Amino acid sequence: MKRKVILYFTIIIILTLSLIMAVFGVVLTKYYYQGIANTFQNHVKAVDSFWEKGNELHYGSLEDYSDLVIKNYQYDGAELQLLNVDGELIQSSTGYYEEQSYQIDPDVFSYKTIYKKEELEQTVLAVYTPLILDGQIVGILRYVSSLTLVQEVITSLLEYGLLISLGVAFIVFLISLRLTDSIVKPVNEIIHVTEEMSKGHFEQRIKEDFPYEIGEMARTLNYMAEEIVKKERMKNDFISSISHELRTPLTGIKGWAETMQLPDGLSKEETEFGLRMINSESERLMNLVEDLLDFSRYESNRVKFVRTVVEFDTLIKEVAFQLQKKASEKNVLIKLEYMPVLINADGDKIRQVLINLLDNAIKFSKNGSDIQIFQYLQGEMVVLKILDQGIGIQQDKLNYILDSFYKVDAKSVGAGLGLAITRNIVMKHGGTIEVQSEYGKGTTIMVRLPLNGMEKE
């Protein structure tokens, strides 16, 4: 990877410097050629006063006064040719040329000075500038200057430019090496650590002090690894917990089944007690399996919601009455404050939410304490608030309370799926659930549900 990055940088450097040198060469050549043309143009302008001496050119042809024109407009180091407006050669500073003509650029007749690079015995620059008398173009002055010295100067400057470019290229190359290391090194480290993670070594961590997006990527991957470790730990805890939860009732059922098979037999009262225990433990197993099946269906979105108009306040009263006996066993008093409210929801699923929340509140409440249930409207939402005076939840565990398989007390009965299922149902109804708790004082759970509507499937 490092070699490819360096290669790409090198190609970019070469292309950039080649483009710069090409532009520099074009600009430099144009600058010198234009400078030569401007020199001849300024020379011609400086001689304009020659026509103000009462010369008889007004009364004769340009050919008759060609010697005078050549003499006044000649420039040292350059050949001057006098052309008529048709481009035909009249006279040259080097002698007379028979029937030689040149193609004149139309811009010359717009009073502009034009130059052309031409190849004769050597490379020359031909400069065409108009010969003007009383505002009229009466002829063309053609200056021919050798480009040998100019090309040597341009070549010399281009060589200096090339040396400077090579120096800049070397410096940029060194910088690119360092820049490549700053990119490739952290990427290679990230690749190495992620390869270790792919082998299950999620304890590996990437340094997070890399700059910009690479540092953000490192932090994201570390966070992902931490979450995987947490999920893995929760899965292992779940397997351990569910094994215990399954073993306990099975042990009771097996024990009573073996006891009832003893040849000595049991009394009627013992037999009835044993049957009640088998029935109770079987019920417990069925509830556990049902929780697992529910969780699986919710996670795979295989649960169908049947929306109807539900009397939410009536549902709260029914669930409170249903769990009143369990609350009385701990001398817990359930207090209700509600108002008539109709919601568009799946009544059975909302009942399951209420049972899960109130059952948890009773389970973790202290003996002789109160559970308060408030139900009220808040805009287009109905709010259910359940406050208990139980053991509460520690702050470091509060963020995970709604996660699957999570249990505040690992020894408590259940698979840790009740609140996860509850959250799923509430969210499917387009609502929210929030848990607030103070350790040792109690917990408040707040559920918000829309009056009319559910999350679209």
Both 329 and 377 in a single domain? yes
Domain of residue 75 covers: 2-153
Q: What is the pLDDT of residue 222?
A: 83
Interval 74-85: pLDDT, tens: 998 899 998 988
Name the percent of the chain lying above pLDDT 90.
Answer: 18
List, for residues 117-166, the tens digit of each pLDDT value. 888 778 899 999 998 887 788 899 999 998 888 888 989 999 998 898 88
Query: Residue 145 sits in a domain of what CATH number?
Result: 3.30.450.20
Residue 204 domain flag:
no
Residues 236, 282 within the same domain? yes
- Asked whether residue 78 is domain-assigned, the answer is yes
Distance CA 300, CA 174 (A): 55
Q: Which of 34-38, 296-300, 449-453 comes out lowest in average pLDDT?
A: 296-300
Say how far residue 8 (Cα) sits from the centre of its chain: 23
pLDDT tens profile 195-239: 877 777 777 777 777 767 777 888 888 888 888 887 777 677 667
Residue 187 included in any domain: no
Residue 308, pLDDT > 60, answer yes
What's the burial of 367, exposed, middle or buried (CB within 10 Å: 0-12/13-18/19+)?
A: exposed
Q: How many helices (H) and strands (E) does the chain have?
A: 10, 12
Confidence of residue 315 (pLDDT cuts 50, 70, 90): very high
Model pTM score: 0.45
Which pLDDT score is estimated for 263?
67
Residue 418 and residue 322 share a domain? yes
Using the 3D structure, point to which of 136, 153, 170 is the last residue of a domain: 153
- Residue 230 DSSP class: H
Report the pLDDT value the prediction gives residue 290, as an integer from 0 to 100: 74
d(CA 256, CA 100): 131
181-204: b or e for each residue (b if 16 or more CB lie within 10 Å)? eeebebbeebeebeeebeeeebee
Domain C-terminal end among 264, 299, 334:
299
Same domain for 431 and 312: yes
> Residue 424 belongs to a domain with what CATH number?
3.30.565.10
User: Does residue 190 lie within any of the structural domains?
Assistant: no
Cα radius of gyration (the chain): 49
pLDDT at 56 (0 to 100): 46
The verdict on 359 and 230 lying in the same domain is no
Residue 307 pLDDT > 80: yes
In this structure, is residue 191 part of a structural domain?
no
Under the banding of pLDDT at 50, 70 and 90, the label for residue 412 is low
- Domain assignment present for residue 200? The answer is no
Q: Answer with the residue of higher pLDDT: 393 or 310.
A: 310
Asked if 315 and 446 sit in the same domain, the reply is: yes
The CATH number assigned to the domain holding 295 equals 1.10.287.130
Last residue of a domain, one of 107, 130, 153: 153
If asked whether residues 228 and 318 sit together in one domain, one would say no
Tally of domains within the chain? 3
Q: Is 241 exposed, middle or buried (0-12, 13-18, 19+ CB in 10 A)?
A: buried
294 in the same domain as 312: no
**What is the mean pLDDT of the segment spanning 366-393?**
89
Same domain, 138 and 220: no
The answer to whether residue 161 sits within a structural domain is no
**12 shares its domain with 116:** yes
Whether 224 and 88 map to the same domain: the answer is no
Whether 446 is covered by a domain: the verdict is yes
Q: What is the pLDDT of residues 241-252, one digit of tens each?
A: 667 667 777 888
Residues 293 and 318 in one domain: no
Confidence class of residue 456 from pLDDT cuts 50, 70 and 90?
very low
**Which phi-psi region, left, alpha or beta, contains residue 327 (left: φ > 0; alpha: ψ -120 to 50)?**
alpha
